[in-house]
Structure 1
Amino acid sequence: MSKHFANLWRSNKNLIAFLFLMVLFRSAIADWNVVPSGSMLPTIRIGDRIFVDKMAYDLRVPLTHISLVHLGDPRRGDIVTIDSKAAHELLVKRVIGVPGDVVALRDNVLYVNGVRADYRPLAKPPMHDVPPGAGVYLTERFDGVSHVVRLSPMAPSPMSSFGPVTVPAGEYLMLGDNRDDSADSRYFGFMPRKEVMGRARNVAFSLDPSHFFLPRLSRFGAPLDQPLASN
């Protein structure tokens, strides 16, 4: 058996070494993740593969949550990946509340530290909803953060109101941009800092599940912190 493995190594050592280094790279430095749900619509579309900067906040021991070097902390507005024990899966959400913040939601109107977010309708919807009119798109601005949120008047979330709650030390409050269809801190509670695995900055590439998984060329490399283009 050992002779068999020795022959296997000699014949494939370059490939094995490449695969090993690729696993380490994706675990500790950068990765891309598939987005199977619409909880971050319209910022992230179903079928997007997002590029995740694993060194945005920590340098970790590969394949673990152990931080070797602390490089920074998530800020309001960051889109992050969370290896959530509460949800038992990898989540992609937006940071709304950082430690010490007081956050409330009143009929999908956000308040951070007692200040109401500003909402303005988009001149042109960034997506075509089915059925038409199923989604309402607004620019949400608070504390220097600006992004687009989607509301669903035809199917409002039972969690469209909560709080006020104070974000504990070492934890974060996360929400999805698709406010009426997102399982986030409203359901799973505050997200521990140690579970934040990286920051999502760009779409790596995108495949459209509603059109036989054909590439969405306009989404390739699209930044997640820029105004959204319509379909």
Structure 2
Amino acid sequence: MAAIDFSAFLLGVTVLFGVIWLFDRLFLVKARRARAEAEGAEVAEPWPVDWARSLFPVILVVLILRSFVAEPFRIPSGSMMPTLDVGDFILVNKFSYGLRMPAFNNKLLENGEPRRGDVVVFRFPGYRCADGNGNIVRSGDQTCQDPNAPVPGENWIKRVIGVPGDRIETRGSELFINGERVAMDELGPYKGDPERPEDQLLMTYGSKLYTEHLGSINHTIALTPAYNMPQDIPNAVVPSEVPKGCYIVMGDNRMNSTDSRWWGCMPEENLVGKAFFVWLAWRGFDHGISGVLDLSRMGKVIH
């Protein structure tokens, strides 16, 4: 899930407006009032002070709500289909896994850990690559030709499959956790709008839907082996046992998701929060006014 670093921007603006307002109150306002009284004129605030005084409380409230309560995100790709579709706007619970400092993301308060089956938003950690000294580093280059390529500052969304200490294995479309095969019930072929590229791909390659029973979470996944068959776990990047402080995550569109099978485990410190609600499903104007919103998905609780 691509996103600009809006948290850092919001924090910076909040601090800037707060500093302007406080500096004016401490050092400038008395002199300004004295000059106005001597001249018999009304006290006029400079426009930066007026803006800071007016906007600081509003932006501070937004920062607190967005950082510690819930944050909106938009789904940009089909890697979580059919659970989440392109254009879904979701809310992410920022308190589910502890309070974190805005922008810096360091944890301020513990409040539980992700469980198998949770749909989580996280900062993309980058691909695991060997540098010239034989060390494993995180890179933004999927091919690892440039191990020092910067990792893009993006937020991604996937489902937690393995928690620390789990032994994860995949064999084609089959998933094994701690030696036991994860059960699936076939629902039938994927059906969608043949004019939408995301639906067209799944339908063209004969995708089938299954209910996957991941612990207490029952959710729908799409399997499309004719389109792509991701590398199995374990592999050169991903060991079978999930390390401490890490999670194995995958997309529900299993054959069309760049996830832990390609770039390794997701570090705990990269967590943003738990996705829990679809509040808007925007499909654009490609199919006329009637196709702008998908009312059937709006209000959906994410499982």
TM-score normalised by the chain length of structure 1: 0.87
2:279 aligned to 194, 200, 204, which one? Answer: 204
Question: What runs of 5+ residues in structure 2 fail to find an aligned partner?
Answer: 1-23, 29-43, 127-150, 194-198
Aligned counterparts of 2:299 and 2:110: Cα–Cα separation in 1:
28
Q: 1:142 aligned to 2:214?
A: yes
| Pairing of 1:31-180 with structure 2 (within 5 A) | 31-86=71-126, 88=152, 89-122=154-187, 125=190, 127-128=192-193, 129-130=199-200, 132=203, 134=205, 135-159=207-231, 161-163=232-234, 165-180=240-255
Greater mean alpha carbon deviation, residues 133-142 or residues 186-195:
133-142
Q: State whether structure 2 residue 224 is matched by structure 1 residue 224.
A: no
3-state SS of paired residue (2:72): strand
* Bigger relative CO (Cα 8 Å, ≥ 6 apart): 1
Instruction: State percent identity of aligned pairs.
Output: 34
Q: What's 1:229 paired with?
A: none
Deviations 1:54-110 (A, max 9, x none): 111111222221111100000000000011231632110000000000001111110
Tell whether the 8 Å contact from 2:172 to 2:229 is kept in structure 1 after alignment.
Answer: no
Deviates more, 1:26-35 or 1:176-185: 26-35
From the two aligned structures, give the one with the greater strand fraction: 1
TM-score (ref. length: structure 2): 0.67
Q: Which amino acid aligns with 1:24?
A: I
Partner amino acid, structure 1, of 2:293: P
2:262 to 187, 190, 195: 187
Measured after TM superposition, the shift of residue 5 of structure 1 is 8.0
Counterpart secondary structure, 1:32: strand
Provide the residue aligned with 1:228 in structure 2. Answer: none
Q: What residue identity is the alignment partner of 2:222? A: R
* Deviation readout 1:127-176 (Å, 9 max, x if unpaired): 453263532111111333321111113312332x2227000111100011
**In structure 1, how many angstroms separate the alpha carbons of the residues matched to 2:293 and 2:272?**
27
Number of residue-to-residue matches in the alignment: 224
Return the structure number with greater helix share. Answer: 2
- Structure-1 separation of matches of 2:192 and 2:159: 19
Question: Which residue is equivalent to 2:15?
Answer: none
Equivalent pair of 1:42/1:126 in contact (CA under 8 Å)? no
**CA RMSD of the aligned region, Å?**
2.4
Name the SS of the counterpart of 1:208 in structure 2.
Answer: coil
Aligned residues of 1:42 and 1:127 also touching (Cα < 8 A): no
